[in-house]
Amino acid sequence: MPQGQGLDFAGVVERVGRGVHQYAVGDEVFGAGKDCIADFCVAKVKSIAKEPPGVSFAVASTVATVGTTAASVFDGERIWSGSEVLVNGATGGIGMFATQMAVRRNAKVTAVVSDKGAALAEGYRDKGDATL
C-alpha cells in the first residue's frame, strides 16, 4: 500500500510530457498505468500503444495486463509447430491470449474449458493450422 485500482486503460491523449514524440494530443491509445479507474490517468510511454483502427476503447482497455501476462508465458520458451501445449482456462482472460499465441505458433493445443466456452475455443482453430 498505497496501491490504487485499475491498471488497463484506453482513451484519447489529452497531454504529453516533455520529450514525448511518439504520441500527440488526440491519438487513440491503450495500455497500462496506475490508478486507471478515472477520467484521466498517467502512463509511461513504454506502457502504451496506439489503438489499432476498428478496435473499440472497451476492447482495447482489456488487452494490456492479460495480453502481456500471457505473452510472458512464451518468453524464452520454444513453442513452435508440433509442440504440445495445455491451456487450463482457455477462454478466460489470460487463457484466451495464451491459446491464440500457441495456435499462431502451430502448436498442438489442448484447451480446457467449460461447456459454455467450448464454442469459443473451437473458433481459435480458424486462427492457424494448429490442432485444437
Residue 31: which domain range? Answer: 8-62
Determine the Cα–Cα distance for residues 118 and 99; give it in Å rounded to an integer. Answer: 13
Pairing of strands 108-112, 84-88: parallel
Are residues 29 and 56 located together in one domain of the fold? yes
Question: How many structural domains does the chain have?
Answer: 2
Q: Letter for the amino acid at 105?
A: R
Handedness of CA 75, 80, 85, 90 (dihedral sign): positive
Are residues 50 and 92 located together in one domain of the fold? no
Are residues 122 and 74 located together in one domain of the fold? yes
User: Model-level pTM?
Assistant: 0.72
- pLDDT tens for the chain, 132 residues: list them: 455 678 899 999 999 999 999 999 999 999 988 778 878 888 899 999 999 999 999 989 888 888 888 988 887 777 888 889 999 999 898 998 998 888 888 888 898 998 888 888 777 766 554 455
